[in-house]
A = this chain, B = another copy of it.
């Protein structure tokens, strides 16, 4: 139950939330997974969940279906669902996709950014510097998430944004592991500032390259930190 990175941060912007009984269960389970309350490979029994939350089994079933499509849960025919454990290799794949997709969004953001949005990005950049100086790892992690999200929004590429949001949720654990790595913020800070600068300068190409460089660095750190931290939760049986 460690990754408390942001857990509910996405609940506000996330895609589909069929209000009512079913929607409540969906958000509940998703938050439990994202917060680490439900650990990877943990079995998700429909009956148990319908008791834990109060809803009917059908509601739980619908929620699990949705979560499977979001890539947070894996289901096998007649064998039930369990929390998806994304391996290191998968995490790297996800980052590769993020690299090109966020690059696209950043390029479009550089073309479309308004003055007000520019000021906002600068604000995030300044706050990031402050967080790193103060050694506020958790605050920096939150700002990191916020920056990436704002770039997506400014880019206004809904197709890419939807995919990216889903991928982000899938790799929350790896993202957290990375944030905890000592010296990591110091390394990523200048990369983030470069992204902001390029977008502010209305330079699509530079923005794209800056994002690429940043995520290449993330991939490198991800692969390197494999054995240092405890578990790169992969395909271990529960």
Contact = CB atoms under 8 A, between A and B. Distances in A.
Interface of A: 18-19, 62, 65-66, 69, 77, 90, 93-94, 96-97, 99-101, 103-104, 157-160, 163, 167
B18 A90 contact: no
A158 to B, nearest CB: 7
A97 to B, nearest CB: 5
A157 B19 contact: no
Contacts of A93: 157-160
Given A62-B65, A159-B167, A97 B101 contact: yes
Copies of this chain in its oligomeric complex = 2
Nearest to A160: B97
Q: Name the residue among A65, A77, A100, A160 with the largest chain B CB count within 10 angstroms.
A: A100
A97 B100 CA distance: 9
A160 B104 contact: no
Contacts of A96: 104, 157, 159-160
A96 B107 CA distance: 12
Contacts of A62: 65
8 tightest CB-CB pairs across the interface, nearest first? Answer: A100-B100, A69-B69, A93-B159, A100-B104, A97-B159, A97-B160, A94-B159, A163-B163
Contacts of A19: 77
Given A65-B65, A90-B159, A100-B100, 5 more contacts: A65-B66, A93-B157, A97-B163, A100-B104, A101-B101
A179 B159 CA distance: 23
